[in-house]
Chain A
């Protein structure tokens, strides 16, 4: 019984804020002490589907930025962690990867901002992606470093002597074995990028309007209905990724 109550409580804690946001996004007027809004309408949602919807553009931009950051961080993290996996200085490289987290992201952003201005990446899509990459890439490197163990190396050596080429080995052995950790890395980097505000604001200079920036803008404008809709949109992609990521991890657990 207690287990059920705790279970119910946890579900409520997770989904109640989402429910409130959903109700707000369909509301016209909702003031205290009303339990529910007076009227419901679809105007806020219809704005999303209008041709010049700024919100839709922000959503699209956020997806593209986060996918780029997650993809390149995972790719580079994989390549670099593989390259240093047999080095006797491996643990020093991993320690080095923690450096960006010693600094506050804002301090790192200010430092990167100077270089972004010098090389002309300021207030641009590539500037924002590169700034977020600076945070996500070391994270990807750290996660993926744990994959290259002696066991994986044995698999590689065995498949070499069985006559496999480098590409065949990657396709048939390394990639399938690394898939869960690659998925996890991609997902985590996507999340870091998706919810980033400070770096995007600083490097993007207000020109690269991601969804997180839009949420803050709507809140500043006291437009709680649009802010609720933007917040909902902010939650949907991570939840979708979480669902797929969980499936991959569960599949991995069943295999072993």
Chain B
């Protein structure tokens, strides 16, 4: 799988949201996209998913243009910051949603859902409804629901933003484990520098609609504009003042 964006631009009225964005995501890789609120990261993900239209540019998935393809046939799943579990469906049916949409046989759905429930350690919760789960459990179900359909690319829009520190760390580990196990490429949007470095094989930074990609983590760390140096300086100052 190879995702490539060429010269993607988007304006809302007179306001440019994305300007000439180029991006390349390789097979089984996770790219962290670091950006502040309003930097255009959500618009970028929505354009890739097909939920919004780009004004210019093209998107290629395995060398084939998908820009005019319907979002439900792109095999690109978009995960929101909120878990967005369907409140009227239990854990099992929430996870099975995408497989049912593909009209798979009930026995096959049952087998696959049970297997992934085991992996996310929620087998005992399969008949529970979302309101009976904790924040971390909800997010795990949301992951399982996305991964079970075996998407070509997974787009994550600050999925751990609403979680507490401990749950966030657990979720980051689980995310990396599942990505490797299922061999799915992902674009992971975050505003947390540490999280971006921890999660991403590749790193990019988006600011006012301009995207800058880095070839390696060390290139990113050494870049004066990446914010890593300021972060290190901050902690050094704290240490020295004590």
Binding site for B on A (CB under 8 A): 154-155, 157-165, 168, 172-173, 176-177, 255-256
Contacts and interface: CB of A to CB of B under 8 A. Distances in A.
Given A155-B84, A177-B88, A163 B51 contact: no
Given A155-B84, A161-B77, 7 more contacts: A154-B84, A157-B46, A159-B101, A160-B50, A160-B72, A162-B77, A164-B97
Contacts, number: 69
Nearest to A155: B84
A65 to B, nearest CB: 32
B87 A154 contact: no
A43 to B, nearest CB: 50
B146 interface: yes
Contact of B101 (A168, A177, A255): A168
B185 interface: no
B72 A158 contact: no
By size class, the interface of chain B is 20 to 34
B211 interface: no
Contacts of A158: 78-80, 84
Contacts of B49: 157, 161
Contacts of B89: 172
Interface of B: 46, 49-51, 71-80, 82, 84, 86-89, 97-98, 100-102, 129, 131, 145-146, 149, 155
A121 to B, nearest CB: 41
A256 B51 CA distance: 28
Nearest to B146: A162
A159 B87 CA distance: 13
A136 B197 CA distance: 57
Of B49, B50, B80, B97, most buried by chain A (CB within 10 Å of CB) is B97
B129 A157 contact: no
